[in-house]
Structure 1
Amino acid sequence: MLLDVHPQLLRALRAVFETGSLTAASERLGFTQSALSKQIAALEAAAGTRLFDRGPRGVAPTAAGARLARRAAAILDQYEVAQRELEDLPVPLGGRIALGGFPTTALRLVPRTIARVRTDHPSIEIEFLESSTPVQIRRLRAGRLDLAILASGEDLPGWDLTGIEVDPLPSGTLMLAVGRRHRLAGVRRVPVTELAQEEWIVGRGARGEPQFGAWPTVSEPRVVAELGDWSARFGFVAAGLGITTIPRLAATTLPDGIVCVEVDDPGWAGRSMGLAWIGSLTGPAAAVRATLIEEARLIAEGRSGASGRSHRDSAR
């Protein structure tokens, strides 16, 4: 029933209604189109009626969809007002929170989250433990983590999340990192068919742990180096020895000599992130969760942080 609908589903409805396109809405929210379609389907199931008609040129709201979208916009406005009012309440929170994340999250999302928590909740101390998703799941079950940022996707194993609560996190799209002198450095978006002959710099880790490798749908990629450290991968890319994949989550942390290129690949549904925990969250853990979700949203929208300044990730 609609009373149980998560605010994220209402945000998805508003974005699709305002843009008239699943593609544009997914880019605005930082989700894959597949994930956004599932959210709309879940909302339609809760509403008990179709909310959008799909056509070759986009989507159009049904009468029910238009009415619900207008209500959703008003609800979200009030929700955001309430959230700001709660944030303004002088309720000090304190404690130590163990946060886990896979290596890419340490490039931007986690540092921004920790910095903002230190400002907003100076009595909360965050211990960050970097590890792969399967290791984090084991640590969650062992009680060694309070919160964990997990990765999922069609190219990754299906993790056993029984008994684990997971909130979806906006993660943006997967992109290419190429050297500034590479043939693709001057384009904003490239079809996946152009990548067949490229040489790849890929990640390396323990067996069974997910890595950022060649583009997921490229068959028989030519891998020239496997490196466990992001800085080493970037060094190879900047030297023109190959290209690598990188999530938009980390796209603005690239060193000089490297630019990002988007990929047009209708055959790949993308990866996603989730924030996981077990049981009830303490006040400090809930505060960290709220901050992390907000920072992930700002990054996916191309905004610099709590100040709201904008930036754009593009090939220069």
Structure 2
Amino acid sequence: MAELTVAGLRTVFEVARQGSFSGAATVLGYTQSAVSRQVAATEAAAGSELFERLPRGVRPTAAGEVVVRRAGRVLAELDGALEEVAGVRDRFAGSLVASGFPTATAVLLPRAVARTRARHPGLRVALQEAASPVQVRRLRAGQVEVAVVAVGDGLPAPDLDGLRAETLHVPRGSGVAVGRAHRLADRDVLDVEDLVGETWVAGAGPAGEPQFGAWPGLSEPHIGYEARHWATRFGLVAAGLAVTVVPGLAADSVPRDVRWIPVRNPVVPDRALLAVTAGAPSGAASALVRAIREEAAALGAPATP
């Protein structure tokens, strides 16, 4: 008789979350055929089809909804148990290297490192900044244990085969940074129409780093400046020379003379934020991923005016 497995439950859970077998394969670092095998084995164990195949993607059946809901609870308990066991074995002492692309290292990763250090004072965490493909290569070479990477539209697809990848959810969407003297600076939320006629500073950097131009959907926007580093972009914004797109992930990094304002109903590229580790991460790496997950979920409050 077929039995449910942890790998099968994790796969079914991710397929439901991503809405497709291919999306789950990317996040989990599996091939699409491996995802199909895990789903088929779990359906055999459950004695029911778990997904309805659609023209584009899949969605859980009634039985699938039950399995996905229970799988989420089981996986959370298992991950917590692994962290707790690792703590008993005192695997949280020593050092750990983490990395992220520039937007992720602005706020999310420093806060996650601080949270991890508060829980495990004996653990030293070093932080590197690099484009997503570079991070994955360093992870495979053993130079990094935890990497925060971006995947999706307009970005190179890193090779995640054999690695463990967890999708991070940031409740706060993208917005626009304006100078304190800007005509829109006193607004709490903007519509896309409010941004017509603005001069933009766009990101410029190596392939693999998410770049931001003018707000998506604007007709013939004026790109007045390009800059690789956020400090330069914010300097141009503070001087009143331009405005710039800033994802909610990094909204709390704007300086005092700049204001971040969310945009209503944003149209953004289909991208995902992933925390990537080796297939069998250390207890310390799992603890850091947990802190990253918690800090990502906390990035939902509006930026303070």
TM-score, normalised to structure 2's length?
Answer: 0.70
Deviations 1:201-233 (A, max 9, x none): 122223564323322443543222222222221
Corresponding residue for residue 103 of structure 1: 102
Corresponding residue for residue 146 of structure 2: 147
Matched position secondary structure for 2:185: coil
Residue range with higher mean Cα deviation, 237-246 or 170-179: 170-179
Q: Percent identity?
A: 35
Matched position secondary structure for 1:126: strand
Task: Return the alpha-carbon distance in structure 2 between the equivalents of residues 291 and 144 of structure 1.
Answer: 20
Aligned-pair CA distance for 1:237: 0.9
Matched position secondary structure for 1:279: coil
Residue pair 1:200, 1:213 contacting (<8 A) in 2 also: yes
* Aligned-residue RMSD, C-alpha: 3.9
AA partner of residue 191 (structure 2): P
Aligned-pair CA distance for 1:130: 0.5
Distance 1:139 1:267, change over 3 A: same
Distance 1:158 1:257, change over 3 A: same
Matched position secondary structure for 2:118: helix
Residue pair 2:97, 2:125 contacting (<8 A) in 1 also: yes
Residue pair 1:171, 1:272 contacting (<8 A) in 2 also: no
Deviations 1:86-140 (A, max 9, x none): 4997553223222110112222111112212222112222121111112212222
Residue pair 1:189, 1:264 contacting (<8 A) in 2 also: yes
Matched position secondary structure for 2:263: strand
Distance 1:186 1:138, change over 3 A: same
Residue pair 2:131, 2:208 contacting (<8 A) in 1 also: no
Matched position secondary structure for 1:190: coil
Corresponding residue for residue 16 of structure 1: none
Corresponding residue for residue 175 of structure 2: 175
Deviations 1:10-31 (A, max 9, x none): 9xx9xxxxxxxxxxxxxxxxxx
Task: Return the alpha-carbon distance in structure 2 between the equivalents of residues 86 and 66 of structure 1.
Answer: 29
Unaligned runs of 5+ in 2: 25-38, 53-60
Matched position secondary structure for 1:189: coil
Task: Return the alpha-carbon distance in structure 1 between the equivalents of residues 298 and 208 of structure 2.
Answer: 31
Unaligned runs of 5+ in 1: 14-34, 52-61, 303-311
Corresponding residue for residue 94 of structure 1: 93
Aligned-pair CA distance for 1:286: 1.9
Aligned-pair CA distance for 1:281: 1.0
Corresponding residue for residue 125 of structure 2: 126
The count of aligned residue pairs is 270
Deviations 1:29-59 (A, max 9, x none): xxxxxx77669x98xx8784689xxxxxxxx
Aligned-pair CA distance for 1:274: 0.2
Residue pair 2:49, 2:63 contacting (<8 A) in 1 also: no
Distance 1:7 1:162, change over 3 A: closer
Aligned-pair CA distance for 1:176: 1.1
Task: Return the alpha-carbon distance in structure 2 between the equivalents of residues 143 and 89 of structure 1.
Answer: 22
Distance 1:69 1:141, change over 3 A: closer
Corresponding residue for residue 186 of structure 2: 186
AA partner of residue 277 (structure 2): W
AA partner of residue 313 (structure 1): P
Corresponding residue for residue 29 of structure 2: none
Task: Return the alpha-carbon distance in structure 2 between the equivalents of residues 281 and 69 of structure 1.
Answer: 24
Task: Return the alpha-carbon distance in structure 2 between the equivalents of residues 99 and 118 of structure 1.
Answer: 13
Residue pair 2:151, 2:272 contacting (<8 A) in 1 also: yes
Corresponding residue for residue 58 of structure 1: none
Corresponding residue for residue 24 of structure 1: none
